[in-house]
Amino acid sequence: MLEIKNLHASVEDKDILKGVTLNVKAGEVHAIMGPNGSGKSTLASVITGKEEFEVTQGSITFQGKDISEMDPEERAHQGIFLSFQYPIEIPGVSVTNFIKTAINENRKAKGQEDMPASEMLKMIKEKADLLDIDRKFLSRSLNEGFSGGEKKRNEIFQMAMLEPKLAILDETDSGLDIDALKVVANGVNKLKSADNAVVLITHYQRLLDYIVPDFVHVLMDGRIVKSGTKELAYELEEKGYDWIKEELV
Ligand SMILES: Nc1ncnc2c1ncn2[C@@H]1O[C@H](COP(=O)(O)OP(=O)(O)O)[C@@H](O)[C@H]1O
Ligand SMILES: [Mg+2]
């Protein structure tokens, strides 16, 4: 589904990614871990197409198409979702109204009509029930006074509604409490299917107590230096990152 080959990327002429190779297939959950500043968020930004990052070498292929030159909207329309896409507060625009607009924008881009209101309502109800989101939350103004857990609830709800093929969740944000971690974990576990894939970026080993990734990768200094299964995450929890550094020299 997602094939990244020898990806190099820079921001303001500073090389951040220095040859990342990653293969994500449908049905898989990949966790990307690594020390602060190793390039995890940069990798997420480059996959979703944030403008300030420049790909200087390598390729990003999504469902057989080279997406490295596409703008972020186009990538989203191809089915890539990035958390923190809409962190802004929008007073007067509710959680549901916002997602309705996003869905219809998506459909418009594909040349489809707006989703009929009844179908939209049904979908909202289904997804909210699936994720244990109450009705009151859905009518709140977007991000206004949201707690960390509520922000996560909103993101996971957006993800559920947009039904992306690939979700990239960057959970390196500080202030993620246990409630917020559980919201994310619950969402990922419930929305995961044989047709979609998740790349979960985190430096919280604790999140992986709730989500079992199929693969764990360690990103250090812009490269994936080690890959393994969930056992690798436990090893990292126990030993930190230094032993990998030592292995490399
Ligand atoms: N917009 C930017 N402008 C300048 N430097 C940046 C920018 N974004 C990231 N960096 C730098 O790139 C490196 C990797 O950052 P980042 O990808 O956020 O790491 P991580 O998410 O693993 O903590 C850091 O040295 C950071 O300072
Ligand atoms: Mg980060």
Higher-pLDDT residue of 122 and 179 is 122
The span from the CA of 21 to the CA of 224, in Å, is 7
Looking at this protein, which amino acid is placed at residue 122? Answer: K
* Over residues 33-57, mean pLDDT: 93
For residue 238, name the pLDDT band (cuts at 50, 70, 90).
confident
CA 37 / ligand 1 centre spacing (Å): 6
Domain map of the chain by residue range? 2-90+164-248
Choice from 42, 47, 50, 173 to test ligand 1 binding pocket (greatest atom count within 8 A of CB): 42
Give the pLDDT confidence score for residue 172 in this predicted structure: 61
Atom of ligand 1 nearest to the CA of 39: 17
Q: For all residues of the chain together, what is the average pLDDT? A: 90
Predicted model pTM:
0.92
For residue 44, name the pLDDT band (cuts at 50, 70, 90).
very high
Atom of ligand 1 nearest to the CA of 35: 22
Atom of ligand 1 nearest to the CA of 38: 22
Architecture of domain 2-90+164-248: 3-Layer(aba) Sandwich (3.40)
Give the pLDDT confidence score for residue 47 in this predicted structure: 96
Tell the residue nearest (CA) to atom 27 of ligand 1: 37
The answer, yes or no, to whether any atom of ligand 1 lies below 6 A from the CB of 222, is no
The answer, yes or no, to whether any atom of ligand 1 lies below 6 A from the CB of 13, is no
The span from the CA of 93 to the CA of 110, in Å, is 25
Tokens of 159: 């993800």
Contacts of 219 (CB under 8 A, 6+ apart): 20, 32, 33, 34, 38, 39, 40, 43, 225
* Over residues 18-46, mean pLDDT: 95
Give the pLDDT confidence score for residue 182 in this predicted structure: 86
User: 225 by DSSP, 3-state: which?
Assistant: strand
